[in-house]
Chains A and B, each alone.
Chain A
Amino acid sequence: MIPDIVTAVVVGLLAIAIVLAVAGVVRARTAGDAVVAGDLFFFAFIGFVAVFGLIFSIEAVIDVILVATVLGFLSVLSLARLLQGGQR
């Protein structure tokens, strides 16, 4: 449905983002930096899910993206809460 060159470019750009995000988690000096890098990893992973769902023409791809956008927000909020030791 989408040309191979488009798939290659999109997957390559997202792969760069994921590699840099993992490097950010590994190199992080504080816990906040690690959480920011993990957030970026999550966004890039949603992009991967969207592209591979289109390639293999999976019908539920938009449902998966819908659930992932809502639940990723909860993960970031809970990690931010965890940084402060449960206090606001």
Chain B
Amino acid sequence: MSAEIVVMVVGSGLLILGAFIIATAAIGLVKLPDLYTRASAVGTAAGLGITVIIVGVVVLDFSVLNLVKGLIAIAAQLLTSAVGSFALARAGYMTGSHPAPTTVPDELAESATHDAQLAQNARRDVGDHSAGS
């Protein structure tokens, strides 16, 4: 009897925690300034929220088969949500979605201009070389 109560309390707490984490991701979607911070909020917080909800479902509806399926689902969720939001942020950068003005180290832009400068220097070197010989 008391074991059932413990299972019910723990499972219910996990369900509420997961739903709260997903609601936090939704608030971040509204409040954050640009695509990259939004993708970060949704990718990490919603991935963790689904993980906690899966643990709650397994606790409330326990069997060995459910435990195995739940572990596979948690592994898939933790691996894929980060990769998905990374691909999304990268696609947004490639299609010219501007970061918020408060973004200070913009390493992708710096490396892009750096590469362009390197290519320009290489072209100039080749030209000098052919002109000299």
- B95 x A32 contact (CB < 8 A): yes
- A84 x B11 contact (CB < 8 A): no
- Which residue of the partner chain, among A43, A47, A81, contacts B42 with CB atoms under 8 Å? A43
Minimum CB–CB distance from B36 to chain A (whole Å) comes to: 9
Kindly supply a per-residue 1/0 record for chain B positions 82-94, scoring 1 wherever the CB is within 8 Å of any chain A CB and 0 otherwise: 0111011111101
- A62 x B57 contact (CB < 8 A): yes
Contacts of B89 in A (CB 8 A): 32
Minimum CB–CB distance from A66 to chain B (whole Å) comes to: 4
Minimum CB–CB distance from A29 to chain B (whole Å) comes to: 9
Q: Which residue from chain B places its CB closest to the CB of A2 in the assembled complex?
A: B12
- Which residue of the partner chain, among A35, A50, A79, contacts B57 with CB atoms under 8 Å? A50
Give the A interface residue count (CB, 8 A).
48
Majority DSSP secondary structure for residues of B touching A: helix
Instruction: Give Cα distance in the complex from A37 to B90, angstroms.
Output: 16
Interface residues of A in 42-88 (CB under 8 A from B): 43-44, 46-47, 50-51, 53-54, 61-63, 65-66, 69-70, 72-73, 76-77, 79-81, 83-84
Instruction: Give Cα distance in the complex from A70 to B39, angstroms.
Output: 18
- Which residue of the partner chain, among B29, B83, B95, contacts A37 with CB atoms under 8 Å? B29
List 4 additional A-B contacts (Cβ < 8 Å) besides A18-B26, A32-B35, A83-B88: A16-B26, A43-B49, A69-B50, A69-B77
Please report B residues at the A interface, Cβ cutoff 8 Å. Answer: 8, 11-12, 15-16, 18-20, 22-23, 25-27, 29-30, 35, 38-39, 42-43, 46-47, 49-50, 53-54, 56-58, 60-61, 66, 69-70, 72-73, 76-77, 80-81, 83-85, 87-92, 94-95, 97
Please report A residues at the B interface, Cβ cutoff 8 Å. Answer: 1-3, 6, 9-10, 13-14, 16-18, 20-21, 23-24, 30-33, 35-37, 39-40, 43-44, 46-47, 50-51, 53-54, 61-63, 65-66, 69-70, 72-73, 76-77, 79-81, 83-84
